[in-house]
């Protein structure tokens, strides 16, 4: 997301069962020094040590800073870190909110040994361009993740709206 000024949605624990389920699922997979791409208020950073977060929204980052979390204002397309600075990059329900998700994945792979994340399936509520969510900027077909060398699986406890990926 090139300009986070318009993005003001604050995501915190307890707001939705879907977000809480995604959180629990991802926490169990995060190890080592890791980067949260699109960290919002830092709710993953609160529960998993050795993480750093980035987000383009001043509003959500201000909440993370007040919590004392290690965050940086940056866009996912241009990460301000050295090559392979992290063991892992986590991208959870962010790819649909950027203009070019492939650039974001390439950049995440540059700064981390491995990338994991959750994305909406095309045709679902968050996977439709020009739908009811103005912030959906692109659709991320799971087969495109696979063609980049990644693996795609279901998110346990989800109704099929989302998928988990590793690359």
Annotation: CATH topology of 17-166: Rossmann fold (3.40.50)
Query: Residue 123: its pLDDT value, please?
Result: 82
pLDDT in tens, 30-48: 999 999 999 999 989 999 9
Q: What is the pLDDT at residue 9?
A: 64
Predicted local confidence at residue 1, as pLDDT: 43
Angstrom distance (rounded) from CA 129 to CA 126: 8
Give the model's pLDDT for residue 18.
72
> What digits encode the pLDDT tens for the residues 59-100?
899 999 999 999 999 999 999 999 999 999 999 989 988 989
Residue 137 tokens read as 């900027």
């Amino acid at each position: 997301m090139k300009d986070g000024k318009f993005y003001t949605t604050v995501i915190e624990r307890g707001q939705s069962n879907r977000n809480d389920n995604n959180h629990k699922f991802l926490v169990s997979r995060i190890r080592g020094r890791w980067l949260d791409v699109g960290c919002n208020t830092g709710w993953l950073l609160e529960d998993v040590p050795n993480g750093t977060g980035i987000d383009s929204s001043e509003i959500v980052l201000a909440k993370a800073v007040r919590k004392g979390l290690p965050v940086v204002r940056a866009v996912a397309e241009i990460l301000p870190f050295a090559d392979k600075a992290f063991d892992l990059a986590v991208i959870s329900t962010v790819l649909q909110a950027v203009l070019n998700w492939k650039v974001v994945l390439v950049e995440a792979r540059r700064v981390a040994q491995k990338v994991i994340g959750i994305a909406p399936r095309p045709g679902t509520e968050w996977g439709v361009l020009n739908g009811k969510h103005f912030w959906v900027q692109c659709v991320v077909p799971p087969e495109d993740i696979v063609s980049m060398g990644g693996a795609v699986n279901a998110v346990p406890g989800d109704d099929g709206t989302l998928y988990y990926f590793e690359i």
